[in-house]
């Protein structure tokens, strides 16, 4: 029998006074437990300081936590809780086999709380629930307030390790507090056997303190600690023999075991296992450092020592008193020093963790896409905005989810709090990658060769970006997006594909999106197998229920606290990306690096999200509220995603930033005074080419931010940068970037028009102001002097746009490439001729994007809605109308909402079937 087993046979347990990630990951802890070398673990701030700040074992985990925007204390706690849980799980078999006597692991409350009873109790409760393991012991310093805290915690069923006990008198106080707590727990209906406790009695430090007060030749040197411990053991036995304890024991209570702590030998003149060999007794625990454990296994002697020499122990204390050494006073001083030392270690630990977090954030920033600002025209406003956001601790408050950053009443703040899940989405989704990749592999194995995403706005725009930037990896599924109710778009969505090998992704956060419901009805009517459909939605939505009822292949339930336009790095963006064959770990790693770079560990101009957000806010405040997006062709699709994020987030309360998607450098050669630009390049060659253009732009006075992506995976980083920037811009502008208060208006009016159509068989008459062979003008334009003639009305309408205004082409037309080119050309020519910003978008898609800004933003828009004669209709199964009627109702609802807002508005209906020619005719009329 080895020495450790001999101790066990004598009734003593050996625990290890050390814990680290390396000990867990290497399997060493598991081997010790399996060999019976240890039956428990203790830790303290000094131990964690030693473990966490050496080597690289914590580097990966620390990086993930920095990317969550955590403070040093939060990072420490998260790392410690992970370690404690790991150790607790490893020790669970021991805990169960010994009926809860052994198998414990200890985690200490912050030592700085040692003299604050209420805060100690609060912290202990929080840690107890955070770890959530039955074999956890919360370490509480045994100060006078700590004694009272222990009683309270035991009375609540929380197991406690009372630490930093030096005197016998304080030990007795702790033991009695434990008994009182158990009685209260029992009276409250608790099971006393479910609560455990140890009293950690510190040993070697007493010899160190007493020896320093004795002459070098004194025979009392090295005697005080063992004598003090033996007197404590005698008190322990007396307490267990008392009638009140026997009553608790009869009810199943576990004794509070004496645990010998600080048992490494400090004086090299003493035997290295002195404080193990001399403290062997039944019902006790000795927690030993790793070196002491190895030494005792090698040459330790196991025999009962605590129960002998008690008279000699009393004699030692008497002789110390005669020598002028008050052992109680020494113990009181050691308690004070112990709290101070642990507090100092904890402060050093947090400081070291903070340094590591700062270093990681710096490295993450260096690894993220570089950005350069040329903003002389708004430099003073930009610096003031950055300074104000820093003064307001905006970045820290964002990551702390402090909803007061954006103002608003309590109800609004609560709603904001329910929209901030995107901050942790990257870290959360890392754990979901195996699930997503397994799904994608199974879809390929099931014979699917393509996928059609049925979604609108935030549910679809990111997939468009990923498809454009990454393409389709060999052997993976091609993915298309259907986000138009145009009958032509619906009918041709599967062009060239086979229905039986197409997977349909039904994506809707709310599960009630009108367009998505119609898309699903249509394709479900054509494809009978529920296994051809996949849902991506929030928990508990009608879509989630439908997926279960209809036997969908898979349902991905997204975190409900992620808003649609902030969902790119959640299931909504990652599931289609996996089907396309995107390397999700690499993609998310770039996003996580940007999250770290945007964390509170990067201040001011070092924080890329803060800088971009401050630039957007400062420019808008200076009247530059048109955001020109000049993106490389490979990443041009990212512009539509940015458009939705920025416009829908900022366009409210009469404020807003209007993105201009797909702007060309040539268009910025003569920039307007209401404009700023963001130039996005990918690859070294593209970045170098942009350099000369940026210099030219800067010379014109146009504020420009240049971001240089190195490769496609950097798109993940860019998505997160823009999300943080949008939150910062909202703070700078004094608006809530997480709601969309005016989007519902068009939806409600659309429903009213559909009801009217169902009741009357049509939408009723409309106010035609002018009509020609090819065009029909409807509505209340900005000018009444067009003479009732098409050309005059349309030209007067666009001419009403003055400096600072913009023209919006709202195209309820089939979203074909030919029509898109026609709209782009028309917008470019209008911008050149009028000198104002011109934007365009396909309806109803833009209703989920710029539609909020059109209605809630500043009244600076001149709107020209474009409609057409549908060449065919596509029925929607289960509904009384088809897609043609739905699209018309959406156009009418949007028009009515804008009209009610007093916007300058006309509808131009393109007659005939040749819409490209109709756009050309419109261009000639306007220009």
DSSP letter string over 281-342?
Answer: -TT-EEEE-HHHHHHHHHH------TTS-HHHHHHHHHHHHHTT--HHHHHHHHHHHHHHHH
Q: For residue 73, what are its two tokens?
A: 């204390």
Cβ atoms of 485 and 892 within 8 Å: the answer is no
Q: Is 331 left (phi over 0), alpha (psi -120 to 50) or beta?
A: alpha
Both tokens of 343, joined, read 């507090």
Task: Find out whether the peptide bond into 844 is cis, omega within 30 degrees of 0.
Answer: yes
d(CA 454, CA 582): 20
Distance in angstroms (rounded) separating the CA atoms of residues 662 and 604? 30
Cα 644–Cα 647–Cα 649 angle in degrees, nearest 5: 90
The whole-angstrom separation of Cα 840 and Cα 822 is 11
| Closest listed residue to residue 543, CA positions, set 575, 516, 572, 562 | 516
Answer whether 555's CB lies under 8 Å from 548's CB.
yes
CA distance 423 to 720: 9
Given the residues 139, 626, 747, 855, select the one marked as catalytic: 139
- Residues 296/40, Cβ–Cβ less than 8 Å: no
Rounded CA-CA distance 700/669 in Å is 8
Q: State how far the Cα of 847 lies from the Cα of 844, in Å rounded to an integer.
A: 5
Residue 480, both tokens: 């298309």
Q: How far is CA 61 from CA 77, 107, 431, 647, in A?
A: 12, 19, 13, 36
- Residues sharing a CB contact under 8 Å with residue 325, sequence separation 6 or more, in sequence order: 210, 213, 214, 224
Q: How far apart are the first and last CA of the chain?
A: 100
The token duo for 708 is 């240089």
Handedness of CA 375, 378, 384, 390 (dihedral sign): negative
Between CA 721 and CA 594 the distance in angstroms is 7
d(CA 350, CA 75): 9
Give the phi and the psi of residue 49 in degrees, each rounded to 5: -60, -45
* Separation of CA 283 from chain center: 46
The H-assigned helical ranges of 471-603 are 487-491, 514-526, 542-550, 571-580, 584-597
Alpha-helical (H) ranges within 67-167 are: 72-97, 117-131, 144-155
Report helix, strand or coil for 270: coil
User: What is the chain's Cα-based Rg?
Assistant: 36
Question: How far is Cα 490 from Cα 486, in angstroms, rounded to an integer?
Answer: 6
CA dist 124 and 302 (Å) reads 36
The number of C-alpha atoms within 13 Å of 767 and in the hemisphere containing its C-beta is 9
Question: How far, in Å, CA of 200 to CA of 256, rounded?
Answer: 10
User: What dihedral angle (degrees, nearest 10) is formed by the CA atoms of 81, 82, 87, 90?
Assistant: 130
DSSP 875: B
Give me the sign of the Cα torsion angle 161, 164, 166, 167. negative
Are the beta carbons of 646 and 640 closer than 8 angstroms?
no
How many other C-beta atoms can be found within 10 angstroms of the C-beta atom of residue 772? 13
Instruction: Enter the tokens of residue 656.
Output: 């807003």
139 annotated active-site: yes
* Residues that are catalytic: 139
């Amino acid at each position: 029998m080895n020495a450790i087993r001999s101790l066990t046979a004598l009734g003593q347990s050996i625990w290890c006074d050390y814990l680290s990630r390396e000990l867990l990951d290497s399997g060493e802890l598991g081997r010790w437990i399996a060999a019976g070398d240890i039956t428990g673990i203790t830790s303290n701030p000094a131990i964690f300081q030693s473990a966490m700040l050496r080597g690289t074992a914590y580097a990966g985990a620390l990086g993930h936590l920095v990317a969550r925007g955590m403070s040093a204390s939060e990072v420490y706690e998260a790392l410690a809780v992970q370690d404690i849980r790991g150790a607790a799980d490893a020790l669970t078999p021991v805990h169960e086999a010994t009926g809860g006597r052994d198998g414990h692991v200890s985690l200490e409350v912050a030592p700085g709380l040692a003299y604050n009873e209420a805060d100690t109790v609060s912290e202990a409760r929080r840690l107890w629930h955070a770890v959530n393991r039955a074999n956890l012991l919360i370490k509480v310093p045994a100060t006078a307030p700590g004694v009272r805290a222990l009683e309270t915690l035991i009375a609540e069923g929380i197991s406690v390790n009372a630490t930093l006990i030096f005197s016998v008198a304080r030990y007795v106080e702790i033991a009695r507090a434990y008994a009182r707590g158990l009685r209260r727990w029992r009276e409250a209906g608790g099971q006393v056997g479910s609560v455990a406790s140890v009293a950690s009695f510190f040993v070697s430090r007493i010899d160190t303190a007493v020896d320093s007060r004795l002459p070098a030749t004194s025979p009392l040197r090295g005697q005080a600690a063992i004598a003090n411990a033996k007197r404590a053991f005698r008190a322990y036995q007396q307490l267990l023999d008392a009638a009140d304890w026997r009553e608790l024991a009869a009810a199943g209570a576990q004794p509070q075991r004496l645990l010998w702590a600080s048992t490494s030998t400090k004086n090299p003149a003493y035997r290295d296992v002195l404080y193990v060999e001399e403290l062997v007794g039944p019902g006790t625990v000795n927690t030993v450092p790793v070196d002491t454990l190895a030494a005792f296994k090698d040459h330790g002697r196991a025999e009962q020592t605590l129960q002998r020499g008690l008279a000699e122990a009393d004699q030692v204390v008497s002789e110390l008193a005669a020598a002028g050494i008050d052992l109680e006073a020494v113990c009181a001083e050691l308690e004070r020093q112990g709290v101070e030392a642990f507090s100092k270690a904890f402060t050093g630990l947090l400081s070291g963790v903070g340094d590591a977090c700062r270093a990681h954030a710096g490295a993450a920033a260096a690894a993220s896409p570089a950005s350069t600002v040329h903003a002389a025209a708004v430099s003073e406003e930009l610096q003031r905005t950055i300074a104000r956001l820093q003064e307001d601790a905006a970045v820290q408050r964002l990551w702390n989810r402090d909803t007061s950053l954006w103002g608003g009443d309590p109800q609004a703040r609560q709603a904001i709090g329910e929209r901030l899940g995107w901050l942790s989405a990257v870290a959360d989704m890392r754990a979901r990658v195996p699930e997503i990749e397994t799904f994608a592999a199974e879809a390929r194995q099931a014979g699917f060769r393509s996928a059609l995403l049925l979604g609108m706005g935030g549910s679809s725009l990111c997939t468009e970006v990923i498809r454009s930037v990454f393409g389709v990896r060999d052997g993976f599924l091609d993915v298309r997006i259907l986000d138009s109710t145009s009958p032509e778009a619906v009918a041709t969505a599967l062009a060239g594909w086979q229905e039986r090998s197409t997977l349909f992704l039904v994506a809707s956060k709310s599960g009630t999106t009108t367009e998505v419901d119609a898309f699903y009805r249509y394709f479900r009517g054509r494809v009978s197998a529920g296994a051809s459909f996949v849902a991506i939605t929030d928990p508990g939505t009608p879509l989630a229920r439908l997926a279960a009822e209809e036997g969908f292949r898979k349902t991905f339930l997204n975190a409900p606290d992620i808003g649609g336009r902030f969902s790119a790095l959640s299931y909504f963006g990652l599931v289609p990306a996996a089907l396309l064959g995107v390397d999700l770990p690499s993609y998310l790693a770039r996003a996580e690096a940007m999250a770290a770079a945007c964390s509170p560990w990067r201040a001011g101009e070092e924080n890329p999200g803060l800088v971009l957000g401050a630039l957007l806010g400062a420019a808008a405040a200076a009247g530059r509220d048109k955001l020109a997006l000049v993106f490389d062709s490979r990443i041009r699709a990212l512009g539509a995603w940015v458009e939705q994020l920025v416009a829908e987030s900022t366009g409210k309360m009469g404020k807003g930033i209007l993105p201009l998607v797909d702007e060309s450098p040539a268009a910025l050669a003569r920039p307007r005074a209401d404009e700023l630009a963001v130039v996005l390049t990918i690859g070294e060659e593209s970045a170098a080419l942009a350099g000369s253009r940026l210099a030219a732009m800067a010379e014109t006075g146009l504020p420009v931010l240049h971001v240089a992506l190195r490769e496609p995976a950097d798109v993940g980083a860019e998505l997160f940068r823009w999300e943080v920037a949008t939150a910062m811009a909202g703070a700078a502008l004094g608006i809530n970037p997480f709601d969309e208060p005016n989007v519902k208006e068009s939806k409600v009016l659309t429903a009213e028009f559909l009801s009217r159509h169902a009741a009357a068989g049509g939408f009723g008459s409309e106010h035609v102001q002018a009509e020609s062979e090819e065009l029909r003008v409807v509505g209340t334009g900005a000018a009444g002097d067009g003479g009732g003639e098409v050309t005059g009305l349309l030209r007067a309408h666009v001419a009403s746009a003055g400096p600072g205004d913009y023209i919006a082409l709202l195209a309820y037309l089939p979203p074909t490439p030919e029509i898109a080119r026609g709209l782009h050309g028309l917008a470019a020519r209008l911008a050149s001729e009028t000198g104002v910003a011109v934007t365009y978008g396909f309806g109803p898609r833009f209703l989920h994007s710029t539609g909020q800004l059109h209605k809630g933003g500043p009244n600076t828009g001149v709107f020209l809605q474009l409609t057409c004669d549908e060449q065919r209709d596509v029925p929607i199964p289960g509904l009384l109308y088809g897609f043609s009627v739905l699209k018309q109702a959406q156009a009418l609802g949007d028009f009515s909402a804008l009209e009610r807002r007093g916007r300058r508005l006309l509808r131009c209906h393109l007659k005939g079937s040749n819409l490209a020619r109709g756009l050309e005719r419109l261009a000639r009329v306007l220009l």
